[in-house]
Structure 1
Amino acid sequence: MTTTISQGNPASNAGLHGILFMVSAMSLAPFMDGTAKYLSAFISPVEVSLGRFLCQALVVLVIAVVMGRSISSLIKEITRMQLVRGACLAICSIFFFSSLKYMPLADAIAIFFVQPMILTMLSAIILKEKVGVRRWSAVFIGMIGALIIIRPGSSALGLPSLLPLAAATCFAFYLVLTRKLSGKASLLGIQLATGVAGVLTLTPLVIISSLLGFEAAAWTTPALPHLPLFLLMGVISFASHGCIVLAFDRAPASVLAPLSYTEIISATAVGYVLFGDVPDMFVWLGVALIAGGGVYIAHRERTATRRQMASEQLVETSPKRHY
């Protein structure tokens, strides 16, 4: 990882900060997921997702006013690509929150852990980051781990286990777009665009489902005690995804991808404390394989970074000839 770069190097500090931001984001996210799982027992996952993005946008607007930013300047930062990025996260939210309605939080996140593997593939295809044969092997091992958790053909998790897999794919695209948009908008602008995109994506779905009587996504008026929980999700979403944006401003996607595994720590704690969920041995075996693949990817990145540093230092210290 980039933490191996010398401390005096600005690139080293940026890489370290990126890693710390990513770990912080992954530690915060399960608290939002636990809140969503609780709310999904009373209202549809789509409405829960809509409330999350609406509150996230409101949090951004409040912070902007406090910081003296004009709302019009933030709106000007919203681009088509920003909206596409936010729509990816909104769709991811639907899939993942829906999975929480049917399966334990830790199990859903364990399957969701294939996201770093998918991100590594997309980093090679879309971002043109170099991915060698050994890292492709690590991706393959991670996918085997996912199959062990899902156990196709068994009744352990069933079809709902495909929901976090779909969420992981959407989230990987979200991270790729985050990387491509790095440095092109302010943090508040990006966050507002995400909230607006989520509202624009999910509101029509809720309206149409309500008119057609499709209960899985239809509107249900939330109980008064549940409203603060939506605000809590908005705050956590702003904080965690803000950390993700800051992380991708400072480090490559292939370096940050394996750090997503830190999420299992807080996810297991939240799932156990709030819902009494404990992952079985197959889940832990799958997580071990997925995490092992991710750690190996991180190791390869660390080795590549060291070689690049050595090459750059050799060029800087070599005597220059004058002709």
Structure 2
Amino acid sequence: MIGFSLIAPGMDAFAKLAGAAIPVGETLAFRFGIQALLLLPLALALGLITRQSPNAVLWHFIRAALILLATGFFFTALKVMPIADAIAIFFVEPFILTLFGAVFLGETIGWRRVLACAIGFAGAMLVIRPSFAAFGPVALFPLGTAVTFALYMIVNRRTARDQHPVEIQAWTALAACALILPLLIAFQGSGFQPLDPVMPEGRYWFYLAGVGVIASISHLCVSGALRFAPASTVAPLQYLEIIAATGLGYMIFADLPDTQTFVGIAIIISSGLFVIWRENKAPDMDPTPATRAAPTSPRPGKI
């Protein structure tokens, strides 16, 4: 999980660099295309590919649509926002996931976790307000990422209990390609910048390859972590990602969050860690822990 947290912001940096000349839809195609090319052979070699029923195929496409939206929101925000600011806003996702778990899955959450979620959202507003003033409505896109990714995780909980994570992500990446590539073909020459593909030149091939390769490697790191420890155990380490993103953003783009943003980040992390702590205590209080929400999960760029 430490490996994931330290290398994952590299994918965001490559996406931000590519965004100077490459449409978001094209970056998404490379991101999921490379993941499919890397994970499908791996799943085959490990004997993880199984025959998919029509119902399973449908859910793969639903997952793919949600993760495409989530990643598209995030990559669009990165075109103008500092990496650390976008990631900090996204980190309200564990709070949204906790609340969605109660609404859609009937999971029980106490008033302490509800209060921690509210405080976490207040911290996010400290990050969003100056970003909104500086960048306009695009500052809300990481919040859109958090909502769509929380829905993606809810779908995973309902449908992905009997398949290996590598197999799921290989099929989901393939389904994502099947959704995004026809859109790029349809919008070619349309002038609609997010989906009108261009021929990459020079270093932009390297940036796009970096997005896909780092996304796939970080996914394998997360899969390995979750095979050996519960999500609630490794989740606190994910907050190292904000530190790594801040350092990388400063080194590459000379972006450094202001004081208000740092305060908001501190509130989000503190609230998130409290939610995780309550999740870890829950087995002592809840006789049916299998129905509880996992407190956090890797960002869409890493899935």
Alpha-carbon distance in 1 for matches of 2:37, 2:52: 17
TM superposition score normalised by structure 1:
0.78
Q: Matched residues in 2 for 1:68 and 1:298: separation? A: 33
Give the aligned residue type for 2:66.
Answer: C
Structure 1 counterpart of 2:292: none
- Percentage of identical aligned residues: 37
Map of 1:135 onto structure 2: 113
* Compared CA separation, residues 68 and 104, structure 1 to 2 (3 A): closer
Q: What stretches of structure 1 of length at least 5 have no aligned partner? A: 1-20, 310-323
Equivalent of 1:178 in 129, 149, 156? 156
Give 1:210 shift. 2.2
Q: Paired residue for 2:241, among 250, 263, 278?
A: 263
Residues matched between the structures, number: 285
Q: Does 1:273 pair with 2:251?
A: yes
Q: In structure 2, do the counterparts of structure 1 residues 157 and 228 end up closer, same or farther at CA, with 3 Å as the change threshold?
A: closer
Instruction: Please tell me whether the aligned partners of residues 119 and 254 of structure 1 are also in contact (alpha carbons under 8 angstroms).
Output: no
Partner residue in 1 for 2:37: 58
* Distance across 2 between alignment mates of 1:269 and 1:226: 23
Measured in 2, the distance between the counterparts of 1:50 and 1:83 equals: 15
Q: Distance in 2 between matches of 1:205 and 1:26?
A: 32
- Structure 1 residue 212 displacement after superposition: 2.7
Q: Which of 279, 289, 303 matches 1:301?
A: 279
* Paired residues of 1:187 and 1:242 also in contact (CA < 8 A): no
Q: Please, which of 183, 198, 208 is the counterpart of residue 186 of structure 2? A: 208
The equivalent position to 1:38 in structure 2, one of 17, 38, 49, is 17
Question: 1:123, 1:254 within 8 Å by CA — same for their partners in 2?
Answer: no
Q: Deviations over 1:90-109 (max 9, x none)?
A: 11111000001011111111
Q: Tell me which residue corresponds to 2:214.
A: 236
Q: Distance in 2 between matches of 1:81 and 1:259?
A: 30
Q: Deviations over 1:187-214 (max 9, x none)?
A: 3321211211221222233233324321
Pair 1:28 & 2:7 matched: yes
Partner-residue secondary structure (3-state), 2:105: coil
Shift of 1:272: 1.5
Kept after mapping to 2: 8 A contact 1:90/1:197: no
Amino acid at match of 2:8: A
Paired residue type of 1:275? F
**Compared with structure 1, are the counterparts of its residues 161 and 307 closer, same or farther at alpha carbon in structure 2 (3 Å cutoff)?**
same
SS where residue 76 of structure 1 aligns? Answer: coil
Whether the 8 Å contact between 1:100 and 1:108 is mirrored in structure 2 is yes
- 1:240-293 deviation per Cα after TM superposition (whole angstroms, max 9, x unaligned): 234445556677767766654232021112211221111111111111111121
- Superposition RMSD on alpha carbons, in Å? 2.8
Are 2:55 and 1:76 aligned?
A: no
Tell me, yes or no, if the aligned pair for 2:81 and 2:131 is still in contact at 8 Å: no
Secondary structure of 1:109's partner? helix
Alignment partner of 1:210: what SS?
Answer: coil
1:292 aligns with 2:273: no
Distance 1:257 1:87, change over 3 A: farther
State which structure, 1 or 2, has the greater radius of gyration over its C-alpha atoms. 1
Shift of 1:308: 5.8
For structure 2, list consecutive stretches of 5 or more residues without a partner in the other structure.
Answer: 288-303
Q: What's the CA shift string for 1:27-58, capped at 9, x where partnerless? A: 33211111111111111122111110011101
Quick one: distance in 2 between partners of 1:281 and 1:121? 29
- The two structures have a TM-score, normalised by structure 2, of 0.83
